A and B are shown apart, each in its own frame.
Chain A
């Protein structure tokens, strides 16, 4: 199985701050990675697919990049509605595997 290491596990940031979350995979997966946002008590929402493509309807404050086995999700200017848990998911090979999640909170 492909392991996905996500960091940090929690993040305190100020409104307006630039935030970066990282996932590293145990083997090369090309760009086969999604990012999801999950608010308490809700289902995950797709933010970014194929590592860099912004899902329709999502704010352009979210962006994804990757280099080799390292993937990043960036929020350019933190807004109150961005407070949530964030997960990455590799869909290169079965079983699909998720990162452990990042809990984003306001400082």
Chain B
């Protein structure tokens, strides 16, 4: 069955960067899209962007350009998201999801806390 397993919770200092992972199984990763989302607890969800694993092509929400960088490793069927220059406003739960139209299968989410 389709599974998306995200890395564990992160506590990072302001100004630092963090790399989140999303390891997949149960489907053909190399011909699929992966989308990433941000959710501040108790709030709605924002679309960060998406990446096509076949060629690494990306599309970003303008709001997250320069903040998020999406990459993939097809050899391990894993997608990554780098978040840079973190501030307290980046504290949130981040989800990966298969597909480019919102996603049908989602990872369990990873909490990123930015605090000194």
Does B14 touch A at the CB level, under 8 Å? no
Residues of B in contact (CB 8 Å), total 22
Q: Give CA–CA (A34, B97) in the complex, Å.
A: 14
CB of B18 to closest CB in A, whole Å: 19
CB of B99 to closest CB in A, whole Å: 9
Q: Give which listed residue, A36, A45, A95, A101, contacts B47 with CB less than 8 A.
A: A95
B63 and A95 within 8 A (CB) = yes
Q: Give which listed residue, A49, A91, A94, A101, contacts B44 with CB less than 8 A.
A: A101
B63 CB contacts on chain A under 8 angstroms: 95
A34 CB contacts on chain B under 8 angstroms: 101-102
Q: Give which listed residue, A32, A42, A87, contacts B45 with CB less than 8 A.
A: A87
CB of A68 to closest CB in B, whole Å: 21
Q: Give CA–CA (A44, B63) in the complex, Å.
A: 22
Known: A43-B107, A44-B45, A99-B44. A89 touches B102 (CB 8 A): yes
Query: In the complex, which residues 75-116 of chain B have their Cβ closer than 8 Å to any Cβ of chain A?
Result: 95, 97, 100-109
Contact with A along B30-48 (1 / 0, CB 8 A): 0000010000000111110
Q: Give CA–CA (A4, B15) in the complex, Å.
A: 33
Interface centre among B35, B46, B102 (most CB of A within 10 A): B102
Residues of A in contact (CB 8 Å), total 21
B104 CB contacts on chain A under 8 angstroms: 46, 49, 55
Does B59 touch A at the CB level, under 8 Å? yes
B106 and A44 within 8 A (CB) = yes
Binding site for A on B (CB under 8 A): 35, 43-47, 59, 61-63, 95, 97, 100-109
Q: Mind listing 23 A-B residue pairs with CB under 8 Å?
A: A34-B101, A34-B102, A36-B102, A43-B107, A43-B108, A43-B109, A44-B97, A45-B106, A49-B101, A49-B102, A49-B104, A55-B104, A87-B44, A89-B45, A91-B101, A94-B47, A94-B59, A95-B62, A95-B63, A96-B35, A96-B47, A99-B44, A101-B43
Binding site for B on A (CB under 8 A): 32, 34, 36, 42-46, 49, 55, 87, 89, 91, 94-101
